[in-house]
Structure 1
């Protein structure tokens, strides 16, 4: 079921749950019965997973104006494996 929004001139917005693709241009107002015109709204994207929404937003922002960097990011310092394990100190090093 999809949620469709209709606007009555006297009573404002009303919502109707109908099977997808079956909504007409007008529907009778629940309060007065006069024809209410269908209003096209954005889908309820805010109900989705916040991580996926953030990814979509970040992708949209960088589509036209990509983030430009002057150099690649610095490599993180690798911990010395020999210092962590005394048994590794005796191994030859490259």
Structure 2
């Protein structure tokens, strides 16, 4: 659900929770019942957790300053070691 804002001439701004993309251009005011106009505002990205904000910043930064590899990885690259699962169903699968 997304919070959409509507402005009433008499009562100011009210927020309405609706599924994304389903907000109409007008909504009845919860106090007087008159039509309100939809207000377009910036998304509340500042309310996101630190990990999500870091991902947004990294994505924005990579558009202008992509990370460039300066050397070829060595031949002794590590192999990923498989981890054992606690799921008993997976224990019956054949081992590689």
TM-score normalised to structure 1 length: 0.55
Query: What is the distance in 2 between the residues matched to 1:61 and 1:31?
Result: 45
Unpaired runs of at least 5, structure 2: 66-96
The structure with more helix, counted as a fraction of residues: 1
TM-score normalised to structure 2 length: 0.54
Residue-by-residue CA offset, 1:19-53 (whole Å, 9 max, x unaligned): 11111101000000110000011111012122543
Runs of 4+ in 1 over 4 A off after TM superposition: 54-64
Query: What is the distance in 2 between the residues matched to 1:36 and 1:56?
Result: 33
Unpaired runs of at least 5, structure 1: 67-94
Query: What is the distance in 2 between the residues matched to 1:60 and 1:49?
Result: 17
Query: What is the distance in 1 between the residues matched to 2:19 and 2:58?
Result: 33
Q: Which one has a bigger Cα radius of gyration?
A: 1
